[in-house]
Amino acid sequence: MRIALFGYQTWGHRLLQALLESRHEAVLLVTHPDGEDAYEQLWPDSVAELAAEHAIPTVHREQALAGDEELAERIRSSRADIIVAVNWRTWIAPEIFSIPRYGTLNTHDSLLPKYAGFAPITWALINGEERVGITAHEMDGELDTGDIIGQRSVAVEPQDTSATLVEKTLDLFGPLTLDALEAIESGTGERIVQDRSQASFFHKRTAEENRIDWTWSAQDLVNLVRAQADPYPNAFTFRGEERIEILWATVAEKVYGGTAGRIFYREGDGVAIVCGPEAHRGRNRGLVIQRLRTADGRELTGREYFTRMGGYLTRHPAGAPVAV
């Protein structure tokens, strides 16, 4: 089939490479202009450069909206049989995605209907999911809601971070998308209607989502630290006025009670912090900060940084006004 690819970053690059190695023909690339967002710098393989190497016509768009006659004409004149979308950051209007005879196939990096929207792997890791994966689905008038054509998944291992899970799932995009294209072209693939009662839709992550809330359980905080491990912006907290980034943490061996955020006890090379809902009841294990980064860029173990016990870690720097 003739493919118009709507793609961006490493996801788009990997999928275009898979298309180039398949029997299908990539006839048009629509991609986003490069931006300044920190998350965009993490997976920067340029699908536009790969397209240029193979003389594939390229169009840059922030959005694909109704009324964009130039974009619509480029798709029509490419004689694309189908649009394939991957890591397209904005909604595609029906007037655009319905132009090819087979419509549009989107490959999304979650196991739909859960984790539609943005940063699905990061949110799934924070929420302690045992598996993450990707879904190939037909595009309809809403975001990530169309009929499912296929899915693939990988297990979440104890040492996985968002970065390692992205690497694992990146290898799935080409094979799954090619399988879905075969199913669409042959008309033999089973369409599974998404169970909307199981659906969840997540927003983009910002620095605010990385701010540690010490009323979370230790396991939830471990998951947050893993989800925001390097090269992603790290989870952070404050000791007095100093912002510290948590690079690695574990659930404490012991139950610690008191006030959430209290710097309490040494465990190995780390230091346990009181945390969890109703921490004062003494029913929660603490969070052991194993490694951290200081405001001046030093990386230290918890024991090296916390030379004395006592005091508190907080969501905001000491003395800062806090909205209520």
The contacts of residue 199 (CB under 8 Å, 6+ apart) are 112, 113, 114, 116, 145
pLDDT of residue 130 exceeding 60: yes
Consecutive H or E run containing 150: strand 148-155
pTM of structure: 0.93
Task: Write down the mean pLDDT value for the chain.
Answer: 95
The two three-digit tokens of residue 310, written as one number:
């006592």
Give the Å distances, CA to CA, from 4 to 15, 54, 130, 261.
Answer: 12, 14, 34, 52
pLDDT of residue 323 exceeding 60: no
pLDDT in tens, 135-181: 999 999 898 999 999 999 999 999 999 999 999 999 999 999 999 99
Going by C-alpha positions, the residue among 1, 195, 160, 169 that lies closest to residue 79 is 1
Query: For a pLDDT cut of 70, what percent of the chain falls above it?
Result: 98
pLDDT in tens, 249-299: 999 999 999 999 999 999 999 999 999 999 999 999 999 999 999 999 999
DSSP 8-state class, residue 280? G
- For β-strands 285-293 and 270-273, DSSP reports them as antiparallel
pLDDT of residue 319 exceeding 80: no
pLDDT of residue 129 exceeding 90: yes
Residue with tokens 């190497």: 53
Stretch 48-64: mean pLDDT, rounded? Answer: 97
Stretch 57-62: mean pLDDT, rounded? Answer: 97
pLDDT in tens, 18-42: 999 999 999 999 999 987 776 677 8
Residue-range domains of the chain with CATH: 2-202 (3.40.50.170), 207-314 (3.10.25.10)
Contact yes or no for 152/172 (Cβ under 8 A): yes
Contact yes or no for 149/191 (Cβ under 8 A): yes
The two three-digit tokens of residue 303, written as one number:
């024991």
